[in-house]
Amino acid sequence: MKIYHKYLLYQNKWIHPYIRMVLGVMTSITYLASLLLIVGVVYEHGFTISGEETQQLHRLYRGVWAVFMIDVTLRILLEYKDTRRVFSKLTWILTILLYLTLIPIIFHRPEVEGLILQFWDFLHGKPYHLILLLLFSLFNISNGLVRLLGRRTNPSLILAVSFLIIILIGTGLLMLPRCTLNGISWVDSLFIATSAVCVTGLTSVDVASTFTPAGFVVIILLIQIGGLGVMTLTSFFAMFFMGNTSLYNQLVVRDMVSSNSLNSLLTTLVSILAFTLVIEGVGMLAIWSNIHGTMGMDMEAELAFSAFHAISAFCNAGFSTLPGNLGNPLMMSGHNPFFIYISFLIILGGIGFPILVNFKNIAVYHLHRGWRFLHTWSWDRRSFYHLYDLNTRIVLIVTFLLLLFGTVGIALFEWNASFAGMSMADKWTHAFFNAACPRTAGFSSVNLAGLSVQTILIYLFLMWVGGGAQSTAGGVKVNAFAVAVLSLMAVLRGTERVEVFGRELSYDSIRRANATVLMSFGVLFLFVFVISILEPKVSLMAITFECVSALSTVGSSLNLTPTLGSDSKLLVALLMFVGRVGLITLMLGIIKQKKHTKYQYPSGQIIIN
């Protein structure tokens, strides 16, 4: 045996186990340092701190910097081949930026004015260090969360726990002194954090008079995280910045984001984030163009207002910085385009990311088709009907019918009631807006407590159905509702198969849709029953409206939320959590799954008439 081969054998048998142990310990230390850094940043910006505390935080930041530097250096020196394979290009860029922080330590500050001095000051500055360390912390934590999937942990349970952790973190952040004007109780803070993460919009306090700009920043971040989904964000960061992940991790994430294949998994994640940022950005500019110079705000305040409401609308959250929500007098005159922009943001956020990805694929196909025509002057006459998948067709048709039904119904019953005194254009605009909001945004332009019983029933139905699957909306989802209706029609027609658009619906889709509808009624009955005991003086209609709004993550209320007791608020918060995570997902995480068996029992018939 050659000496080189003996060295490799000795290295694999004796050295590598110690290397893996050292790197494993460093990974644990890095996770702890990441958490400490985030806690330190929150403490610094959430409290009024003294000079001594500032110095202690500065020592903490330097310690975290040292941990990250040691961790990266050890991985490059001890396992360069694996590190080179695992690290992505962006990770290498971040590593180089981290090593650049050594320049102010090795070299003294230049005495000559110029570009070199400015570069030295930039590398030595706190913003550069802090942003870089926060990026490393975020990517490390994301990578750790995704790696949990590789331990065969129940993905449904991880999804539920991730939402719960973000809610608890948000609760603590909203209780920081700099986030509120006069403080807030932990119950109200928990309620608002749950409502924001679950993109509901129910509020137990007046948001506009309770929170400071820092508090609004926390709320909008919670809304954005909740709207996109915790695992969607962490999976994106882990796969895009921290390199490759295990095959099992990718399979689980693929099912979470409804990707067609593993090859398109990262593309799907990027598309989801790109769609979100582009639509919210365009919505922000559209809103700003309508409110500019009409609300007595400076440019910075107008842009902040526009960004907040664009994110809140697309994520179907329903939060507003205005007293009285969007029924504020500032918005009720001459701002019809604003309500239309908000409505379309709600609809785009509520139809589901798979439909948006399908739209992107259709647009790319037509662009390629046009490009080929310009090069060959031969038009491709083949049908492109197949580009619209079955899920897209069903969601778009049902969404259109629900919006049409809601707009006409609300206009019919509120024309001379809540909409009295408005012009015809205003009436139709607010009818369309109030038909889009139960899908499930929770904004309001009129006092919902003053609506007719018929309009409230329309609201209840629209809230219960909700938006599309894999979207920012809640409810039983239009997908499940459509499948349940098609299944019912098949039973009434006496057909064994459920068919639509030349396709036969799978048995699993029908089973899940029926289970979702049945479970939603069961959960609603249970919570309405319990809250009616806790709040005996409240009408059953108001309690039912509140519970449907919470479970469907709508955020509309008949002015009941602030008057609820602490126990009822906690129950409504729990209902929001259940609605955001999903009834089926939550049950899959709690109930032990039965293994597939290779045998079948004899079939039996139950008399159903």
pLDDT of 150-164, one tens digit each?
A: 555 566 666 677 778
**Where does the pLDDT of residue 230 fall: very low under 50, low under 70, confident under 90, or very high at 90 and above?**
low
In three-state secondary structure terms, 499 is: strand
Averaged pLDDT for residues 562-588: 82
Distances (CA, A) of 201 to 161, 344, 532, 571: 21, 18, 22, 16
d(CA 586, CA 583): 5
Of 46 and 157, the structure prediction assigns the larger pLDDT to: 46
Residue-wise pLDDT for 409-455, tens only, equals 999 998 888 888 888 988 999 999 999 988 778 788 888 888 889 99
What is the pLDDT at residue 411? 92
Cβ-defined contacts of 390-393 (< 8 Å, 24+) = 390/500, 390/501, 390/503, 391/352, 391/354, 391/355, 391/358, 391/469, 391/479, 392/354, 392/355, 392/358, 392/359, 393/501
Q: Which residues contact 380 (CB under 8 A, 6 or more apart)?
A: 369, 372, 373
Query: Helix, strand, or coil here: 180?
Result: strand
The pLDDT assigned to 244 comes to 47
HSE-CB for 190 with a 13 A CA cutoff:
17
Helix and strand counts by DSSP (H, E) for the chain: 26, 2
Listed range (198-212, 261-275, 289-303) with the worst mean pLDDT: 261-275
What is the amino acid identity at position 575?
L
Mean pLDDT of 18-33: 81
How far is 169 from 164, CA to CA, in rounded Å? 9
Name residues whose C-beta falls within 8 Å of residue 350's C-beta, 6 or more positions apart in sequence: 316, 399, 439, 440, 441, 466, 467, 468, 471, 472, 473
- DSSP class of residue 601 equals P
Q: How far is CA 63 from CA 30, 40, 229, in A?
A: 11, 12, 32
For residues 94 and 104, give the distance between their C-alpha atoms in angstroms, rounded to a whole number: 17
Q: What is the pLDDT confidence band of residue 178, given thresholds at 50, 70 and 90?
A: confident
Handedness of CA 529, 535, 541, 544 (dihedral sign): negative
Q: Pick the most confident of 251-260, 464-473, 596-605.
A: 464-473
Pair 551, 575: CB distance under 8 Å: yes
Q: What does the H/E/C string look like for 276-306?
A: HHHHHHHHHHHHHHHHCCCCCCCHHHHHHHH
Strand blocks (E) in 251-367: none
Domain boundaries of the chain, sorted by first residue: 1-149
Give tens-digit pLDDT for 500-526: 887 888 888 888 888 888 889 999 999
> Residue 470, CB half-sphere, CA atoms under 13 Å: how many?
21
- Report CA dihedral (135, 139, 145, 147) to the nearest 10 degrees: -160
pLDDT for res 267: 65
Q: What is the pLDDT of residue 146?
A: 62
Residue 380: pLDDT over 90 = no
Q: How far, CA to CA in Å, does 98 sit from each of 36, 70, 73, 101, 134?
A: 18, 11, 11, 6, 12
Per-residue pLDDT for 73 more than 70?
yes
Identify whether the C-beta of residue 164 lies closer than 8 Å to the C-beta of residue 581: no
Q: How far is CA 219 from the centre of its chain?
A: 13
Neighbours of 182 (CB within 10 A): 6
Residue 416 or 110, more confident: 416
Of residues 227, 328, 332, 226, the one with CA closest to residue 279: 227
Q: What type of residue sits at position 512?
A: R
- Residue tagged 């590398």 (tokens): 123
Express as a percent the part of the chain with pLDDT over 90: 12
286 has a pLDDT exceeding 90? yes
At residue 248 the predicted structure's pLDDT band, cuts being 50, 70 and 90, is very low
Q: What is the pLDDT of residues 451-470, one digit of tens each?
A: 889 999 999 999 999 888 77
| Helix (H), strand (E) at residue 423 | none
Residue 533 has pLDDT above 90, yes or no: yes
In this predicted model, which residue has the larger pLDDT, 264 or 80?
80
Tokens of 117: 């001095």
pLDDT, residue 341, reads 92
Say if residue 241's pLDDT is above 50: no
Convert the pLDDT of each residue in 326-368 to its tens digit: 888 888 777 888 999 999 999 888 887 778 777 877 877 778 7
The Cα–Cα gap between 148 and 137 comes to 17
Q: Alpha carbon 479 to chain centroid distance?
A: 19
For residue 180, report the phi and psi dihedrals to the nearest 5 degrees.
-130, 160
Strand partners of residue 180:
211
Share of the chain above pLDDT 70, in %: 83
Q: Is the pTM of the predicted complex or chain greater than 0.75?
A: yes
- How does pLDDT run across 117-144, given as a tens digit for each residue? 888 888 888 888 888 888 888 777 777 7
Distances, alpha carbon 349 to alpha carbons 222, 235, 338, 549, in Å? 16, 20, 17, 18
Mean of pLDDT values over 374-397:
73
Q: What mean pLDDT, rounded, does the chain reach?
A: 80
Q: With H, G, I as helix, E, B as strand and everything else as coil, classify residue 437.
A: helix
Q: What are phi and psi of 483, to 5 degrees?
A: -65, -40
Please determine, for residue 253, whether its predicted confidence score (pLDDT) is greater than 90.
no
Express each pLDDT in 75-107 by its tens digit. 887 776 766 766 667 778 888 888 888 888 888
pLDDT at res. 526: 93
The span from the CA of 472 to the CA of 484, in Å, is 21
Question: Is residue 305 within 8 Å of residue 290, measured between CB atoms?
Answer: no
3-state secondary structure of 183: coil
User: Distance between CA atoms of 567 and 590, rounded to whole angstroms?
Assistant: 24
| Cβ 345 vs Cβ 310: under 8 Å | yes
487-491's contacts with Cβ under 8 Å and 24+ in sequence apart are: 487/513, 487/514
